Amino acid sequence: MLTRTAGAVVAAGAAATAGYLLHDPIGDAGLPRPSDATRRLKDFFTGIELPAGTPRISVATGEESAIEQMVRTAIGRLDPDLGLRRFVTRGDVVLIKPNAGFDRAPHLGATTHPDVIRALVRMCLEAGAASVIITDNPIEAPEACFARSGIKRAAEETGAKLVLPEQRRFETVVVRDNEPAADRGEALGRWSMLYAPLREATKVIGVAPIKDHNLCGGSMNLKNWYGLLGGRRNQFHQAIHHIISDLGWMISPTLVVADGTRVMMRNGPTGGRISDVKPGGEVGRPTVVAAVDPVACDAWCYRHLLGRDPAKLAYLGMAARKIAAETAAGSKRLGEADWQAYQRRGQVATANV
């Protein structure tokens, strides 16, 4: 009798306690809320002190057989004493974000040239990086794109870790707290992003090929960050300048490298014909540009490699305005649409390799 009563009382007590603790009076306690997403992107440029007078855009021109030399020269001249070590220090985890968006061989200029990747990875490891990650989220099948573009082999040969865009690596990231306002040129609020490598990385380097783009005019460094987005990202094409300027504002990279070795002059971004590609674009010889200001870098490349007027490229100005709001609030990142301002200050360096 006693044991039965005791058993009954304990069971009743447990049921009542569980019911009380789990009680949901309103009805939405267990439901996920948008505000639950708390992940934000780090500022990958913080802590980098650029000495006065050093170039902000560094151009190296050469032959296609000397791409590694060009990359080393371009980055080296950003800081004549330290070179890449100004940006990448011992123990850093460096994320290199190339464009592996298409199932095309490297000579077609639709993806980042693998030799540029090789050079960068080697330089990062020489500067003491703990590891180097390479990732992208292509439209087409990822394994095929990384393989055919030669980027997979470049990663394997140099000891970088290739991270494929598997679903489990995507997470919702808070780009802005408010819903994006189209009339202010905003596109992103909270969005699914290839977040796992971004979380792991302490430094981010974007490496974009310079290409014509049928919708927005030019696919360069700012457009390159599109490859970090997940979800139904194709809907942004209806306001392409909104999204590209948002991409340029949302991520503050350590540095960017523009791959002008084989410039796609027409039929971008997919291309597919050798006749669309011109080594070095309007410069005439293969070119690599390293820069700490992604917006100015894009403007310079639009003018010199694609031969077009950056004042007509709407997303540059929009990105610059968004970044200016941050600079006014104290951020040290750079985002000027006017590359000539750097020229006037003697901060554009050119070299022949």
Partner 1 sequence: MSSKPDKLEPGFFHHSPLNLLRITSVRVLVQTVSFAMFLAFVYLATYAQLNEHPGLRLWVSKILEIDPLVSLATALTTHTVYQGLLWSLIIVIPTLLLGRFFCGWICPFGAMHQFTHWLLGGYRRKERIEANQYRPLFAFKYYLLTALLVAAIFGSLQIGLLDPICLLYRSFTGGVMPAVSVPLPQLFGDRLFNQGAWLVGGLLFLFLALNLVIPRFFCRALCPLGALLGVLSRFGWWRIERDRGKCDSCNLCSLNCEAACDPHKDLRRSECFVCYNCIEDCPCGALSFKFLPPREHEIAAPDVSRRKVVFAAAAGLAFPPLTRTTGRTTRDFSSTVVRPPGTVEELEFLERCLKCAQCIRACPTGVLQPAWFEAGLEGLWTPVMNFRIGHCQLNCTACGQVCPTGAIQRLTLERKLGVGQFSQQGPIKLGTAHFDTGRCLPYSKNTPCVVCEEVCPTSPKAIFTERQMRTVREGRLQVRAATENTLAVVLWPRAGRAIGEPVSWAAGRFSGDETTTYHVQINHPDAAPETHRVTGNDAATLAIEGRFLKPPAAGTLAVLKMEYKVPLVDTELCIGCGLCERECPVVGDRRAVYVTAEGETRSHLHEDRDRDRSLRLLKRG
Does 106 sit behind a cis peptide bond, omega within 30 degrees of 0 on the bond before it? no
Stretch that binds partner 1, among 50-58, 191-199, 214-222, 339-347 (CB under 8 A): 214-222
139, 163, 324, 341: which one binds partner 1 (CB under 8 A): 139
43, 63, 64, 140: which one binds partner 1 (CB under 8 A): 140
Mode of pairing for the β-strands spanning 57-61 and 348-352: parallel
Q: In whole angstroms, what is the distance from residue 115 CA to residue 166 CA?
A: 25
Stretch that binds partner 1, among 72-80, 123-131, 195-203, 262-270 (CB under 8 A): 262-270
Neighbours of 131 (CB within 10 A): 16
Q: By rule CB under 8 A, what count of residues binds partner 1?
A: 33
Least Å distance, CB 322 to partner 1, is 16
9, 10, 12, 215: which one binds partner 1 (CB under 8 A): 215
Matching residue, tokens 């070590």: 85
Nearer to partner 1, 66 or 144 (CB): 144
String of contacts with partner 1 for each residue 301-330, x by CB under 8 A:
-------------x----------------
Q: Which of 289, 332, 297 is nearest to 316 (CA)?
A: 297
Structure tokens that stand for 242 in this block: 């909104």
18, 126, 130, 214: which one binds partner 1 (CB under 8 A): 214
Subset of residues 242 to 261 that bind partner 1, contact rule: CB under 8 A: none
Neighbours of 320 (CB within 10 A): 22
Distances, alpha carbon 145 to alpha carbons 34, 197, 276, in Å: 33, 19, 20
Q: In whole angstroms, what is the distance from residue 100 CA to residue 97 CA?
A: 9
Q: What is the identity of the amino acid at 177?
A: D
Stretch that binds partner 1, among 237-245, 295-303, 317-325, 330-338 (CB under 8 A): 237-245
String of contacts with partner 1 for each residue 12-51, x by CB under 8 A:
----------------------------------------
Estimate the share of the chain in helix, then strand, then coil, as percent rounded to the nearest 5. Answer: 45, 20, 40
Residue numbers at the binding site for partner 1 (CB under 8 A): 102-103, 139-141, 143-144, 147-148, 164, 166-168, 183, 213-217, 232, 234-235, 237-238, 240-241, 267, 269-273, 314
